[in-house]
Amino acid sequence: MSKNKGYVWLMVIVVIAVVLAIVLGNGSNGTENDTATTTEEAQITEEAIDKGTQSSNNTGTTGGTQATQLPLMTANGAYIIYYYSTGFSPSKLTIKAGKSVRFINSSSNAMLITPVDKVNRPYSSLQQSKSVGKGGTFDYTFSTTGSYAYYNDNKDAHTGVINVTQ
């Protein structure tokens, strides 16, 4: 009987260690607006849940049913888009005008957010001033409605779009 208790406690400790590793591995330190350092944790806010804002590519299938995740947000209400070595996540996002997006580089590649439309305003204004490495961030507030297509200028196959509505 005591061997079984020891095994149960061992399993409990292993599960706690795995959960802690996941939680601590998802924290982010980075630069805000390309320069200032910040230590905000990403979280899903009640505001996003109340408004029903969803990212169009944050859906997955589990057991034949469609599961939808709300986009992550910073503590101050900015939506989060992560950049990984495989591209942006989410790569499609719909937000309201006046909201901000924080791009977080979670890859070992450089990230430089560049608009697909480099000529027409307001789309051409979605332009990061310099590349950032892992942990670096870029914040942008979308004040005008429209469809903002962008890509990583250091890896132009990695693209995304943010649809801004009223």
pLDDT score for 75:
85
Question: Please, which pLDDT band fits residue 21 given cuts at 50, 70 and 90?
Answer: low
| Domain locations along the chain | 30-165
| Mean pLDDT, range 77-101, rounded to an integer | 96
Q: Would you say the C-alpha torsion 43, 75, 20, 15 has a positive or negative sign?
A: negative
Measured between alpha carbons, how far is 99 from 144 in angstroms, rounded to an integer? 10
| Mean pLDDT, range 16-23, rounded to an integer | 64
| Mean pLDDT, range 135-155, rounded to an integer | 96
Instruction: State the pairing for strand pair 155-165/137-141.
Output: unpaired
Question: Please, which pLDDT band fits residue 69 given cuts at 50, 70 and 90?
Answer: low
Question: Please, which pLDDT band fits residue 23 given cuts at 50, 70 and 90?
Answer: low
For all residues of the chain together, what is the average pLDDT? 76
Q: Which amino acid is at 68?
A: T
Reduced to 3 states (helix: H, G, I; strand: E, B; else coil), residue 103 is: strand
Architecture field, domain 30-165: Sandwich (2.60)
DSSP run (H or E) holding 12 = helix 2-25
End-to-end CA distance of the chain: 64
Query: pTM of this prediction?
Result: 0.60
Q: Is the pLDDT of residue 48 over 50?
A: no
Least confident of 4-8, 10-14, 38-42, 112-116: 38-42
Q: Between residues 49 and 23, which one has the greater pLDDT?
A: 23
